[in-house]
Structure 1
């Protein structure tokens, strides 16, 4: 018999899926909205293509991943932003593995400095931007939840992003996502996604490597963030590429 919690959600079945290290690695690789083929996900998880196909079939059947056809190729993607939110939350409470090589140490530091959490900024960069918006009164916390003051936001229009421009479907404008790096909120939701996309367009940030969650703040970005978000020297130094 399956045991359920609260409203009847079968948490155990999802936990069992993500409890496998290979499947967790595959889903994590897609957390920034990337679409990747099975061969690439097999490489990331360190398993054979046939084993990866079995894992991916289970993840698709469960609704965690979705597929997209492009010609003869099939690409996998996270089915819903809520999946990324759940994984980020799990990372907060999960024990941190010790990096076992110089490469893994470097990657851990890169992800902690600045990364994408599905489609919004995370790491020290995401928290620093969120803090700056909060200090200006554009964001505030109520009942431990992050919310937006829409009038204040549209009066300041950070990076020319308005609430109306960000509004899309039923997705909330602003939502706090607990960052596993800093253990504090970074900005998610429609506004968080629009700000990240705008920074890419401005050349303030770029992917550190192709098909990687880690991002790097460019020299143009460091200058722009000083002007727009009033980052001090210590914050800028912490965000500068290593």
Structure 2
């Protein structure tokens, strides 16, 4: 006969409930597909997960009920997206512990290489390029590591203003301006938070990075981006010029 749960441990966050939801491969595939921070219809998520539309809808209903995914209705259509950056951060942390599927084809091998080079983790840059940017921010003292996470040096940031970004608007609100996010491919930290989102948005706006395919996490550093990132952050040209290999392999199966 099983022993009843100890009341001292049966309090606080119910990790098992979330683990149970993400432990299903279909739900995990759909949630992973939403990390690119875009809304997707159930039909597209069903196709990515390789299940029928009704089955996908059942899984999505559970994800919405749990608060992992939100749904936005537009007329007869429903679009799903992650509930927020904290969900993406949790998925990235889980990915650090998860085994990597070995590539089964040259195409999937290329796609994995592309993800490792540069990708978005929700709304900030990750991969080798993201980690390199984080290293520069720390080496210049703009961001300082504490015992728990990262801390922004506001006066120094305002004095230098990388990419002409004012950090003050990101000091308000519930979301941290800057914090560490463990990078699953590099096993080191890239920067997350509101300011990291602003940096990534600025890189897209300047045309320094682009998505080879709309809706995917993989990003490519453009020729203008190589020059700009070398001048702004002192990143190395060989790192930035690692060209993503063209492929049509879907993120959900990488």
The one of 76, 83, 86 equivalent to 1:82 is: 86
- What is the CA distance between 1:166 and its match in structure 2? 3.0
The match for 1:68 is: 72
- What is the CA distance between 1:54 and its match in structure 2? 0.8
Residues 217 and 28 of structure 1, relative CA distance in 2, 3 Å threshold: same
Write the distance in 1 (CA, Å) between the matches of 2:125 and 2:159: 22
Residues 38-82 of structure 1: CA distance to partner in whole angstroms, max 9, x if unpaired?
011111111111111111011001110000112321100111211
Write the distance in 2 (CA, Å) between the matches of 1:153 and 1:6: 44
Q: Say whether residues 1:24 and 2:28 are aligned partners.
A: yes
Residues 190-213 of structure 1: CA distance to partner in whole angstroms, max 9, x if unpaired?
110000000110001111211111
The one of 112, 119, 127 equivalent to 2:116 is: 112
Residues 195-242 of structure 1: CA distance to partner in whole angstroms, max 9, x if unpaired?
00001100011112111111111111111001101112332334x444
Larger radius of gyration: 2
Residues 163-196 of structure 1: CA distance to partner in whole angstroms, max 9, x if unpaired?
1133452111110000001111101001100000
Q: Flag the structure with more relative contact order, 1 or 2, with Cα contacts below 8 A and sequence separation at least 6.
A: 2
The match for 2:248 is: none
Q: How does 1:28-177 map to 2 (within 5 A)?
A: 28-177=32-181
Write the distance in 2 (CA, Å) between the matches of 1:48 and 1:107: 26
SS of residue paired to 1:75 = strand
The match for 1:204 is: 208
Structure 1 segments (4+ residues) deviating >6 Å: 1-4
- What is the CA distance between 1:124 and its match in structure 2? 0.7
Q: Say whether residues 1:224 and 2:221 are aligned partners.
A: no
The one of 190, 194, 197 equivalent to 1:190 is: 194
SS of residue paired to 1:176 = strand
* Deviation larger for 1-10 or 94-103: 1-10
Contact 2:93 2:184 in 1 (8 A): yes
SS of residue paired to 1:143 = coil
SS of residue paired to 2:180 = strand
Contact 1:129 1:229 in 2 (8 A): yes
Q: Return 5+ residue gaps in structure 1 as ranges.
A: none
Contact 1:2 1:10 in 2 (8 A): no
Residues 120-149 of structure 1: CA distance to partner in whole angstroms, max 9, x if unpaired?
111111101111111111011111412211
Write the distance in 2 (CA, Å) between the matches of 1:222 and 1:10: 45
* Deviation larger for 3-12 or 160-169: 3-12
Q: Say whether residues 1:14 and 2:18 are aligned partners.
A: yes
* Deviation larger for 161-170 or 190-199: 161-170
Q: Return 5+ residue gaps in structure 2 as ranges.
A: 246-254
